[in-house]
Amino acid sequence: MLNFRKLKHDFSPLILKDGKALYDKGMIVLMKIVNLKPEIVRFSCRVMGGFDNYYESELEIDRHESVVIDSDCDCPYKYDCQHLAAVLFYLEAHYNELLIAYSKETNLEKASHVDDQEKAHLLETFKEAETKETARQDQKFQKELLEEYIHGSRLLGQSSFFHPEEEPTQDKAELAVIYNIPQLKSETSQIEIQLALRLPSRSKSLNISQMKPFLDAIRYNEALYIGSKRYFFSINSFDEVSAQILKLIIDFARFPELKNDKQQRSAFIDPEAFGTLLAVAFALVEPHIAPPHLSE
C-alpha cells in the first residue's frame, strides 16, 4: 500500500493546495497504470489546466519506499507541479480501482517477461486491491444511503403530516334555529329546520350551508370549513340553552338523499321529536322570562 502522506512531502504546501483544488474540480480526465512490477508502478495521466489546456503527465513510484522515482509533465513547471500534485490526490482515492482495471487489461499468465514469483506477487496485489475496493464501495454506498435517509427525514420533518396536530382554538357563537312547518299536516309530515350562527367577528349572521357536515363536526369535535374559512365549533361554543337544543337536533335530525345544494342546508325532524325540542327549549328559557306586570 502506498504511503501518500510521504509522497506529498516532495511538494510545497502551495503546490499541494493548487493540486487539491484541481482534483476537487474533477480536472483529472484520464489516468491509468502503464507499468506495474513488485518494486515500481508507473502512471500515465491527463490533467486539465487553465484555459482548457490539457497536460500529459507521468509518474513512477517506488512501491516499497513510497517515493517518486521519476515524474514528468508537459506544463511549464515540468515536475513537482500542481498537475502532478492533483494526480497524487486522485491516486489516494482511486488507487485500488486503477489496480483492478490494470489486472483486467493484463494477462499475467501469458506475460513471458514476468517470472512466476513476480506473477504471484502481482496476483496477490490485485486480490488485495479488489478486496479493499469492494469494502470502500460498500462504505461509500452506506454513506450515500445514510445521507439519503437524513435528507428524506428532513423533508418529511417539514411536512405538517408528521407534526403533532395543534389544538384548534374554539370559536364562540350564538345559535338560531329556523323551522318550517308544512301546511298539509299528516302523521308522516316532517319539520324542516335550518341553522344560522351569530359570530363575534361578523356583523351578519352565518348561514350553515351544509347541515350534516356541520352537525358531524360538532358531534366528533372536528374543525370544518364554511366557505373559505376554517372554524372549530363544539357544544361548548354555545350558551346552555343553545347547547341543549343543538344536542337534540344532532340526535333527532334526519337527512334525505341530497339532490342539490339548497337541500344540503336543511335537516328534518318528525313532529313528535320537534315537540320535545320545543318543550325542552321552553323549560330552559322559562326561568329567565320576566313575569307580566299586573295592574293594580
**Geometric angle at alpha carbon 142, from 137 and 143, rounded to 5°:** 95
Residues 211 and 268: beta-carbon distance below 8 Å: no
Residues 54-63, mean pLDDT to the nearest whole number: 93
Nearest to 63 by CA among 81, 82, 79, 42: 42
Residues 218-231, mean pLDDT to the nearest whole number: 89
**Geometric angle at alpha carbon 15, from 13 and 18, rounded to 5°:** 110
Report the amino acid identity of residue 262.
K
Whole-number Å distance between alpha carbons of 117 and 280: 107
Residues 55-68, mean pLDDT to the nearest whole number: 92
Cβ contacts of 81 within 8 Å, gap of 6 or more: 15, 73, 75
Task: Identify the residue whose cell numbers are 343543538.
Answer: 246
The reported pLDDT for the residue numbered 90 is 95
Q: What is the pLDDT of residues 236-263, one digit of tens each?
A: 999 988 999 999 999 999 887 766 666 6
**Residue 291 in 3-state DSSP?**
coil
Residues 121-148, mean pLDDT to the nearest whole number: 78
- Assigned C-alpha cell, 167: 389544538
pLDDT higher than threshold 60 for residue 113: no
Cβ contacts of 172 within 8 Å, gap of 6 or more: 199, 200, 237, 238
Kindly report the pTM of this predicted structure.
0.46
Listed by start position, the domains of the chain span 4-155, 174-287
